[in-house]
Structure 1
Amino acid sequence: MPSLPPLLAKPVDLAPLWLVERLARLILSSVLKAHPDLFERLGDYRQTRYRFSPADLPLHFIVVPETRQLTVSRGHPPVADAAMTGPLVLLLGLLEGRCDADALFFSRDLSVTGDMEAMLALRNALDDSAIDLPSTLGTLAGPFSALVAGAARSIRSRALAERHATWN
């Protein structure tokens, strides 16, 4: 199962929670700017509280699409309507619509609990969105855009290749 390289995991683990949350909100805001209808495609599931818990980091991300709210916590997982747990690289691969969610679920690389219909609605919205996180990160990096985007693409490729993840 792929995991975040220790060189990246340790700084995230040690970073103040407010900093991790601010960065996550900045990334979400950039993604939504590039894909403004992403959450609209959820229909009735826009009010769902989605939790994403990376198995390789002691973090939990809660996203409420209707309010475009994102919170990050450590410790006990917060209450959510639908939750997904798995290695961060796979969660990010799903966000980009690059991995086969069904294969990852049935291979037990991902755990999904709660409202399965809400999670399916989110997966369908993401599958057609063509999100490119390395490009988003590069855009946020200003003059270091090419360097950051290239490094993010390299990390993504190596991490998903380890798993031989099925690409959509």
Structure 2
Amino acid sequence: MLFRPRLMASLHAVPLPLAQGVSAFLFRQILERHSGLFDRLGAFKEKRFAFVPTDLPFSFLVDPSCKTTKAVRKSHPITADATVEGPLALLLALAEGRVDGDALFFSRRLAVTGDMESVIALRNALDDCDIDIAEIIANAAGPLHPMLRSLMVSIRKQALTSEGLSWN
């Protein structure tokens, strides 16, 4: 069980350009596979969303109208219409639609501030997409796909287990 704390601690040494590159890559891959993701936001498509992993030194700003994401150090304030804050494992599980966001919010494991309606619209859009981040990352590995997919699924399962949840 020491794997996750060591992994998370090592992420504090990650340079901002690398965090930006990885987040932009994942974002592009998700939009390629789910091109209509932001169409379901309707009027909320103009809203900007901040995601703040409590266990990372970065925050991420998503702008659906421009279809962009930006990583920033937490010491750098960002302006967003809505902010979702919580452990990285829970934020990723929400993106994949594999956990009950309402239950996490009401149990105070996630904090949501700002425009709640836009967050609900985004959650509903994500729930219909069946995003698989482990598969997206593994696809980038070419012939190492099966091995990397297995590793990513194992890390994902361990991360949620450490949060007291199981993957749906």
* TM-score bracket for this pair, using the shorter chain length: over 0.9
CA drift at 1:148: 1.8
Contact 1:12/1:20 (8 A) holds in 2: no
Query: Which SS does the other structure have where 1:63 is aligned?
Result: strand
Residues paired across the two proteins, number: 165
Q: CA deviation at 1:69?
A: 1.1
Distance 1:157 1:166, change over 3 A: closer
Number of the residue aligned with 2:164:
164
Offset at residue 166 of structure 1 (A):
6.3
Residues of 2 paired with 1:7 and 1:167: CA distance? 22
Matches within 5 A, 1:71-86: 71-74=70-73, 75-86=75-86
CA distance in 2: counterparts of 1:84 and 1:13, whole angstroms: 20
The Cα of 1:159 is off from its aligned counterpart by 1.6
Q: Secondary structure at the match of 1:161?
A: helix
Question: SS of the counterpart of 1:160?
Answer: helix
Q: Which residue pairs with 1:60 in the alignment?
A: 59
Give distance in 1, aligned partners of 2:104 and 2:167: 11
Question: By how many angstroms is 1:167 displaced?
Answer: 5.5
**Structure-2 residue corresponding to 1:132:** 132
Partner of 2:68: 69
Which residue is 1:31 aligned to? 30
How many percent identity over aligned positions?
A: 44
Q: Which runs of no fewer than 5 residues in structure 1 stay unpaired?
A: none
Say if 1:55 and 1:86, in contact at 8 Å, map to a contact too: yes
Q: How does the TM-score come out when normalised to structure 1?
A: 0.92
Q: What does residue range 102-113 of structure 1 map to in structure 2 within 5 Å?
A: 102-113=102-113
Partners of 2:10 and 2:158 lie apart in 1 by 20
Higher relative contact order (CA 8 A, sep 6+): 1
Partner of 1:19: 18
Listed as ranges, the gaps of 5+ residues in structure 2 are none
Show the counterpart of 1:7: 6
Shift of 1:124: 0.2
Partner of 1:120: 120
- Contact 1:52 1:62 survives alignment (8 Å): yes
Residue matched to 2:101? 101
Partners of 1:100 and 1:167 within 8 A in 2: no
